[in-house]
Homo-oligomer: A and B are copies of this chain.
Amino acid sequence: MEKRYLFTPGPTPVPPQVLAALAEPVLHHRGPDFREVYARCLGRLAEISRTERDVLLYTASGTGLMESAIANLLSPGDRTLVVSAGYFGERWAELARAYGADVDVLAYEWGETPSASDLEQRLDGHSVVLLTHSETSTGVVADVQALAAAAKDAGAVVAVDAISSLGAVPLETDAWRIDVVVSGSQKALMTPPGLAFVAVSEEAWSRRGSSPRFYFDWQRTRDAQRRLDAAFTPATSLVVALDVALSLLREAGLDAAFERHVRLGRACRAGVTAMGLELFSPDDDSAAVVTAVRAPDGIDSGELVLTLRDRFGITLAPGQGPLKGKVFRIGHIGWFDVFDIATALSGVELVLAEGGAEIERGAAVSAALDAFERPLSVA
């Protein structure tokens, strides 16, 4: 009977229409019913990715498609520069090392925001640059437009992990000259986990390397998709669900989604601050995807997350890596509104107050609602 609230930065809440589509009888992946859905999904993924290129759809987690970028682009010894400021930046580096690349890391402390001028100075004939758009572990959304421009001007191929950003914050794949954009179903695309996507530029295509690959080989999937076929049996039920989710997103409009995420970020930060807590993620409109909050002194953020789950069925995300125990994270991605923010903040407030923390009661929700209602100054 207990209500459950999923407020993590992935998986994210899935609208009932999308869940209902999952329960439809299974379609054969080579039948006409499925091909129609498949074609529509592929077209809409390209639309949302703001690209004229093929978007390749795979059954895998987002990491699988980060690996596709490495396996298709890099040959052993290729000079690769990773811009890393958190868990997912480190994953790029691990992946590139697993394929024997010669990896340099422009490493920031977790929570810092990478800068294009640092990148410019660090670039030195690297053939591939690996970027993270929304660093889900810290809440930082990097300026990938500026970062990609620096890397492209230096002649590198640029791959961006946009897994938690696509559909939440603006990302102009073609206009920003990003060669490879990796994303996933379980964040702003409001679909359960299991599907991931990659858009690949002609330049990246022509610079593919010699690493072994089969399932994640781009050529196999592009060839199949161009005949409206799939190279390997896809997760058909998830594709049918994604089709419904993309219709919902398209109906409301991408710009509306971006605006909503900015307002949700504002609401969350205003509430957190009003409660007397300290933000870990930046206190500006870039942080529209996930809000990382420092736990008050003497409180373990992991314990707080467990208590919220046990007491109220509210799932937040704990800190990862060096932030374990120190921060908790509220994801506000996809099918999310301000009342979800209010619920998350109310839960945190109750648990902290019960634990004796100095929390100004009731302030968080009002501040959040106010911040959400304030018009955006920027269109």
A residues sitting closer than 8 Å to B (CB atoms) are: 4, 6, 8, 10-14, 19-20, 22-29, 31-33, 59-64, 67, 70-71, 94-95, 98-100, 184, 186, 192-194, 211-217, 232-238, 309, 315
| B238 adjacent to A235 (CB under 8 Å) | yes
**A61 surroundings in chain B (CB, below 8 A):** 59, 215, 232-234
- How many angstroms between the C-alpha atoms of A146 and B25 in the bound complex? 38
A28 interface neighbour in B6, B26, B184, B214, Cβ under 8 Å = B6
- How many angstroms between the C-alpha atoms of A237 and B12 in the bound complex? 12
Q: Which of A32, A62, A215 lies at the interface centre, i.e. has the most chain B CB atoms within 10 A of its CB?
A: A215
| A98 adjacent to B213 (CB under 8 Å) | yes
| A26 adjacent to B192 (CB under 8 Å) | yes
Closest 6 pairs between A and B when the two form their complex, measured CB to CB:
A194-B235, A23-B23, A61-B232, A192-B237, A22-B22, A64-B215
A298 to B: closest C-beta gap in Å: 24
CB closest chain-B residue, reference A62? B233
A194 to B: closest C-beta gap in Å: 3
A312 to B: closest C-beta gap in Å: 13
**A95 surroundings in chain B (CB, below 8 A):** 214
Q: Which of A62, A214, A309 lies at the interface centre, i.e. has the most chain B CB atoms within 10 A of its CB?
A: A214
Q: List 22 A–B pairs whose Cβ atoms lie within 8 Å, in order of A's numbering.
A: A8-B28, A11-B236, A19-B23, A19-B24, A20-B23, A26-B193, A29-B193, A31-B309, A59-B61, A59-B194, A61-B215, A67-B215, A94-B214, A98-B213, A100-B212, A186-B233, A193-B233, A193-B234, A194-B234, A194-B235, A212-B212, A238-B238
| A193 adjacent to B235 (CB under 8 Å) | yes
A212 interface neighbour in B12, B19, B98, B237, Cβ under 8 Å = B98
CB closest chain-B residue, reference A196? B59
**A63 surroundings in chain B (CB, below 8 A):** 214-215, 232-233
| A60 adjacent to B62 (CB under 8 Å) | no
| 10 more CB-based (< 8 A) A-B contacts, given A19-B25, A98-B217, A194-B234 | A11-B27, A11-B236, A26-B192, A31-B309, A31-B315, A61-B234, A98-B213, A194-B237, A194-B238, A215-B216
| B236 adjacent to A309 (CB under 8 Å) | no
| A25 adjacent to B13 (CB under 8 Å) | yes
- How many angstroms between the C-alpha atoms of A235 and B212 in the bound complex? 26
| A309 adjacent to B32 (CB under 8 Å) | yes
